[in-house]
């Protein structure tokens, strides 16, 4: 089964803690993306990567970090610097620039 998987489905963060959200794809897509969605709102781009070992900041990168060591994996770390991390986080992938993006099932991050 080809697709994008995200884990965990729910994640709880304590004050001052860094947490990492996993995103894996077996679609052989070159590009991967992380979005944040707040209740009743659209999607905002956090980071994206067009190729392994390279990534760019999106519109709301502050308080987040990423790595792209493998083509199929693009983990997102929500650092303690992100003061309002409660949101639904979505990972997506595409075959490249100006191509359709396909989304994973999402991870809901909650703060304890």
Partner 1 sequence: QQQVKQSPQSLIVQKGGIPIINCAYENTAFDYFPWYQQFPGKGPALLIAIRPDVSEKKEGRFTISFNKSAKQFSLHIMDSQPGDSATYFCAAINTDKLIFGTGTRLQVFP
Binding site for partner 1 (CB under 8 A): 4, 6, 31, 33, 40-43, 45, 48, 50, 56, 58, 90, 92, 97-106, 108
The residue (of 17 and 99) whose beta carbon lies closer to partner 1 is: 99
CB of 16 to partner 1, least distance (A): 28
For 92, the token pair is: 């997506």
The residue (of 33 and 64) whose beta carbon lies closer to partner 1 is: 33
For 7, the token pair is: 């884990």
Residues in Cβ contact with 96 at an 8 Å cutoff, skipping those fewer than 6 apart: 30, 31, 50
Say how far apart CA 47 and CA 61 lie, in whole Å. 6
CB of 2 to partner 1, least distance (A): 14
The residue (of 50 and 73) whose beta carbon lies closer to partner 1 is: 50
CB of 5 to partner 1, least distance (A): 11
Q: Give, as one character, the DSSP assignment of residue 73.
A: B
CB of 19 to partner 1, least distance (A): 19
The residue (of 51 and 81) whose beta carbon lies closer to partner 1 is: 51
Q: Using alpha carbons, select from 66, 81, 59 the residue that is nearest to residue 22.
A: 66
Give the rounded distance of the alpha carbon of 107 from its chain centre: 9
């Amino acid at each position: 089964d080809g697709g994008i998987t995200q884990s965990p489905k729910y994640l709880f963060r304590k004050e001052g803690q860094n947490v990492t959200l996993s995103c894996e794809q077996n679609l052989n897509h070159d590009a991967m993306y992380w979005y944040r969605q707040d209740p009743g709102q659209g999607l905002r781009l956090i980071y994206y990567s067009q190729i392994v070992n390279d990534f760019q900041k999106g519109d709301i990168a502050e308080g987040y970090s990423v790595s792209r060591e493998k083509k199929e994996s693009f983990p997102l770390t929500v650092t303690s610097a992100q003061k309002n991390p409660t949101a639904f986080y979505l990972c997506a992938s595409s075959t490249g620039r100006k191509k359709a993006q396909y989304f994973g099932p999402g991870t809901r991050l909650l703060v304890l």
